[in-house]
Structures are given as C-alpha cells and as structure tokens.
Structure 1
Amino acid sequence: MRPVLLAAALSIAAAAPAFAADPVEGEWLTQAGTAKVKIGPCPSRDGRMCGVITWVRTAGMKDAENPDPQLRGRPLVGLMMIHNFKPAGPGKWTGGKIYDPQSGKTYDSKLRINTDGTLKVEGCVLVVCQAQTWKRS
C-alpha cells in the first residue's frame, strides 16, 4: 500500500505546476502608491481575472465620484476595481474593465506582466490608452 501512496503523492507533486497561479495573481501597489489591489480569479466567472481594492492610503475613503449617487457612500476597500479579464497568453489578460474611483469612470483594460515582474495596467477609451505600472505588494 505504501508504494501506491508514494506514487500518488509523486504524481500530484508533478502535476502541481499545471495548477500554478498566473503571474498577474497577487496583491499589487498602484503606480501612485495610494491603493493596493488583489488580483485573482473572478468569483462568478470561470477563467476570468478580477481585482479588489484591499488597502487605501487614506483610511475610510469612499467611492465619492461614482456616477450613481446611491453608491457614493460605499468604502473603496472591498470594491471590485478590475473585472472580467480573459487570458491572452502567459501573463497577459485582455477584454476586461477597470474602474477609476478618482473619476468614477470605467474603461476597457488589459494587463501584462513586464519582464521586471511589474504589472502594466492599461485603460483605454476608443483607441487612446493610458498605462500605469504596478508593483507587487
């Protein structure tokens, strides 16, 4: 029986890299250093990535610029900032949306791991895009 358990354990260990997290997963500090966003699989969308604000420099900040007056009192911590990203290759995700709490606007977005391990986050309106570089937290 022991050899069977050992073989099973070794096969699971060998398969572990197949279950490794995508390089975009983790907690990231925004370019301005004012917030941290935790990126991981979306809770209700298989194969998609989402990101939730986990920390803001100024405690107690609210979603004050939200276009919906009923949402302006909600705290930024816990807010889903990025959502619905589809895989586009190793460390690349496209087709998602990013919410900018400073303007209350949502933009088309894509994510990419840079060679130095930072995260390039792009938000686009039509063909005009702006990028930020986020660092692992």
Structure 2
Amino acid sequence: MSKRTVAFVLSMASTMAMAQMTPEGLWRNIDDKTGEAKAEIRIAAAASGALHGRIEKALTQSGEPNCTACTDDRKDKPKVGMEIIRGAKKSAADAVWEGGKILDPENGKEYTLKMTPLDGGKQLQIRGYIGPFYRTQIWQRVQ
C-alpha cells in the first residue's frame, strides 16, 4: 500500500470515528424504569444546525397510539413520526448537546435536554431536566 493510500484510509477512519461521537443517527431508546427497548428515534440536524429527533418506529405496544397528554402542537398526534427532540445545540466546551427540549409522549411532559455520546458513540446519554430534578436514559445506536 502506498503512503498516500494509508494516509487516506487513516483519515477516513478518524472521520468516521468522529462522526460517531455525535447524536446524529438512529437510536433505540431504553426505558430507564423497565430496561426495555421502547422505540427507535432518528436524530438529525436542521438547516439551523440544531438537532431534532423523531420517533421512527415503536418497539412496544402503547396503550394510546396518539399523544393525548401533550399540551402543545403535538396534542392528539400519532407518537410514531412525532418530533420529540427539538433545538439541541453542541456546547462549545465539550461533546455535549444541550439547550433543546425532549418530550415524553407517554405523559406529555417536556424536559430541558442534555445529550452526551458515550462509549465511542455507541451509546447516548439522554438527560431531561425540570428544575433541579432530572431523569436519565442510555440509548443504543442502531447499526
């Protein structure tokens, strides 16, 4: 292999590793209470650069397919296809995305959001805050 080929392969590998250290992609959310996988959420960047996430697939049956507990524009809308993450932006200090909101479509509550990639981007720590109280889930990247 030539030096140029080796350099190219190494640069591509480091680029792919860095791409994994972002919340962008498809994630399987794991319920913090039951440990069960509940849904697959696709997180993507909008034109503004902020991240947004939609429920792409339900993995468990919900008693209610629509968000009857929601109080905003998502009220009575189907949970599958629903945007549950809005407006998260990368922190200047570290590999953390924050400043956005995350919705729990089961109870209609919206939390201030903080997302942190873990384990080389294979996992995503999702932390939702209301005041000093928070709830944390660890999501798994879907390959």
TM-score over 0.5 (shorter chain): yes
Instruction: Give the % identical residues.
Output: 26
Whose radius of gyration is greater, 1 or 2?
Answer: 1
The answer (yes or no) to whether the contact 2:97–2:116 under 8 Å persists in 1 is: yes
**TM-score, scaled relative to structure 2:** 0.72
SS of the equivalent of 1:64 reads coil
Is the Cα contact below 8 Å between 2:96 and 2:115 reproduced in 1?
yes
Q: Is the 8 A contact 2:50 2:89 kept in 1?
A: yes
* Structure 1: segments with no counterpart, 5+ residues: 1-9
Partner of residue 41 from structure 1, selected from 27, 45, 50: 45
Identify the residue that residue 105 of structure 2 maps to in structure 1: 101
| CA displacement at 1:63 relative to structure 2 | 1.1
Q: Spell out, residue by residue over 1:84-116, the C-alpha distance to the aligned partner (whole angstroms, 9 max, x if none).
A: 011115642011100010110111011000125
Q: How many Å apart are 1:68 and its aligned residue?
A: 5.3
- 1 CA distance for matches of 2:27 and 2:108? 21
- Counterpart AA for 2:100: G
Structure 2 residue 120 is the aligned partner of structure 1 residue 112: no
Aligned to 1:83: 86
Tell me the number of residue pairs that the alignment of Structure 1 and Structure 2 aligns.
Answer: 121
Task: Provide the aligned C-alpha RMSD in A.
Answer: 2.8
Q: 2:4 is matched with which residue?
A: none
Q: Distance in 1 between matches of 2:79 and 2:44?
A: 18
CA displacement, residues 7-33 of structure 1 (integer Å, 9 cap, x when unaligned): xxx9xx98xx4xx74621111011131
C-alpha displacement of 1:136: 1.0
- Once residues 97 and 46 of structure 1 are traced to their aligned partners in structure 2, the CA distance between those partners, rounded to angstroms, is 16
Mark the runs of 5 or more structure 2 residues left unpaired by the alignment. 1-7, 32-36
For 1:27-66, what aligned pairs fall within 5 Å after superposition?
27-32=26-31, 33-42=37-46, 45-57=47-59, 58=61, 61-66=65-70
Q: Would the alpha carbon gap of residues 104 and 24 (structure 1) be closer, same or farther in structure 2, given more than 3 Å must change?
A: same
TM-score by length of 1: 0.75
Residue 128 of structure 2 aligns with which residue?
123
Aligned equivalents of 1:106, 1:79: Cα separation in 2: 13
Q: Secondary structure at the match of 2:119?
A: coil
Runs of 4+ displaced beyond 6 Å: none
- The structure-2 alpha-carbon separation of the partners of 1:28 and 1:128, relative to structure 1 and needing over 3 Å to count, comes to same
Conserved in 1, the CA contact under 8 Å of 2:69 and 2:107?
yes
Equivalent pair of 1:92/1:113 in contact (CA under 8 Å): yes
